Structure 1
């Protein structure tokens, strides 16, 4: 359900509005969309931790050494139909990001739900 196309649209919309880099990682921890295109297809070790624990991961500057190649920020699980299907990461000072991080997560999950509903509606139209 979490396609690169949907992930890129989410990144585009949220990056423009928040003026922060957003990364979206798939269910294996691979970056599939990012405001920094050079990071696409790289493994995100913070996301792998989120996928393993199911819990948000806050990375402060002093904690960066624990995960290779990560930047300070927050990483939140993306839930879809009660399953973690990926991770959304927002780069920046975690104390500034906590307020709207959950909102970005909620919007991401809503966009995925909307995409599923549109796909189901299209199938119903096709079957008629």
Structure 2
């Protein structure tokens, strides 16, 4: 009985939220477009979209060397910290542990996404 009551309350809240979104979404959409109209290409043609797509791709490709250099600097810092691990404070060890846990969490997320968001094989 309590489950039915909670389900009805949840449905009522979802309905109110849906009504609120449908009431305010068009205004938000118009404001968003107005604030960012300097980014909008006029006229929005397929050719213009293809050009922008290629510009984005090659701009990102051109930024690879600088990002690689930043990655190398980060790796050099990590190597230096690993060499000096005997001098670590508790804070440094905590940061390293949190970083390792974050890497593991991203790995697990990638594995789950790669399997189509199924949780088979993990016993957590």
Verify same fold: TM over 0.5. no
Query: Normalized per residue, which structure has more strand?
Result: 1
Structure with larger RCO (C-alpha < 8 A, sep 6+): 1
Structure with higher Rg: it is: 2
Query: Normalized per residue, which structure has more helix?
Result: 2
